[in-house]
Amino acid sequence: MSQGTNVESDALRAYARAAESAADRIAKIRGRTATLDLSDGTFGQLPEANSLRADYIGQKDQSGTDLEDSAEMLRTIAEAVRGSAENYDANEDETARGFGNGA
């Protein structure tokens, strides 16, 4: 017979809070890096230097999108983990009621 599983719903909720906190930090980083801009000539005066600036801007924009996606994914994970904790608690409560709440 199976030994069963003991799920600590408070630990799941703590993990969800940590994931949301990480998402908030990522969002702040994205906000700071989104405002970074380089002026013409930052990479030098040679004609090829401006293509480096264009490449930098493209990479910065893509990184911003990646950071936004990462933050959203962490928020989705937090929501799902919190939902799992609620479901485990509801199941435990229902099982306890089924057994007369231990009476």
Please work out, in degrees rounded to the nearest 5, the angle formed at the alpha carbon of residue 80 by the alpha carbons of 10 and 88.
Answer: 45
- In this predicted structure, the answer to whether residue 101 has a pLDDT above a threshold of 80 is no
pLDDT band at residue 1 under the 50/70/90 scheme? low
Q: Angle at which helices 49-98 and 9-34 pack, to 10 degrees?
A: 160
**pTM for the whole thing?**
0.80
Specify the pLDDT at position 40: 79
- In this predicted structure, the answer to whether residue 103 has a pLDDT above a threshold of 70 is no
Specify the pLDDT at position 102: 60
Specify the pLDDT at position 44: 85
What tens digit of pLDDT does each residue of 34-90 get?
888 888 788 888 878 888 888 989 999 999 999 999 999 999 999 999 999 999 999
Specify the pLDDT at position 78: 98
d(CA 77, CA 26): 15
> So where are the chain's domains?
17-87
DSSP annotation of 40 reads T
Please work out, in degrees rounded to the nearest 5, the angle formed at the alpha carbon of residue 69 by the alpha carbons of 64 and 70.
Answer: 95
